[in-house]
Amino acid sequence: MDKDPAVIDRAYNDSAGYGARSTLNVLDHLNRRYGANFVTENFRYRSKYDSRMKRNEVRLESLVDQTVTLAALDITVSFGAAELIDAEVMWKFDPEELGSVLDRAGFSMVRRWIEPTYRYGLFLLRHK
């Protein structure tokens, strides 16, 4: 749900580093699953909220020129220093505006639960 940009920034750029570790873990997963050779220390977590688009964008920035191979897929990818990998996009929304979006997508809201203090929600939807 959409919130004050400072709240969103603190959530995705937490001081304990959970957001960064979670996203960088994707590279470890690719290493295990596809025999890749990503070096996580060669990437930096980047998270930025775009209030105009109402979305938080998470990227991994290559810190060096590097080439990575995903052996099981027979794929080799080169990254330049400062090149970004789009990792996640989290759209934020106003719950009052959600109904019309769902309707256009062929869904209806059955029920919603919104936690008032931290402003997060759980929504039960039904396909029409």
pLDDT level of residue 109 (50, 70, 90 thresholds):
very high
pLDDT the model gives residue 12: 94
- Identify any residues that bridge with 45 across adjacent strands, giving them in sequence order: 60
The per-residue pLDDT for 96 is 87
What is the value of pTM for the model shown?
0.83
CA atoms within 13 A of residue 88's CA, in its CB half-sphere? 18
Query: CA-to-CA distance for 51 and 46, rounded, in angstroms?
Result: 16
For residue 36, the 8-state DSSP code is B
pLDDT in tens, 48-100: 999 999 999 999 999 999 999 999 999 999 999 999 999 999 999 888 888 89
The token duo for 45 is: 């977590």
Instruction: Read off the pLDDT band of 27 (50, 70, 90).
Output: very high
Helical ranges in 1-128 per DSSP H: 5-12, 18-34, 95-104
pLDDT of residue 58: 98
Q: How far apart are CA 62 and CA 57, in angstroms?
A: 16
Q: Which of 71, 79, 74, 75 is nearest to 33 (CA)?
A: 71
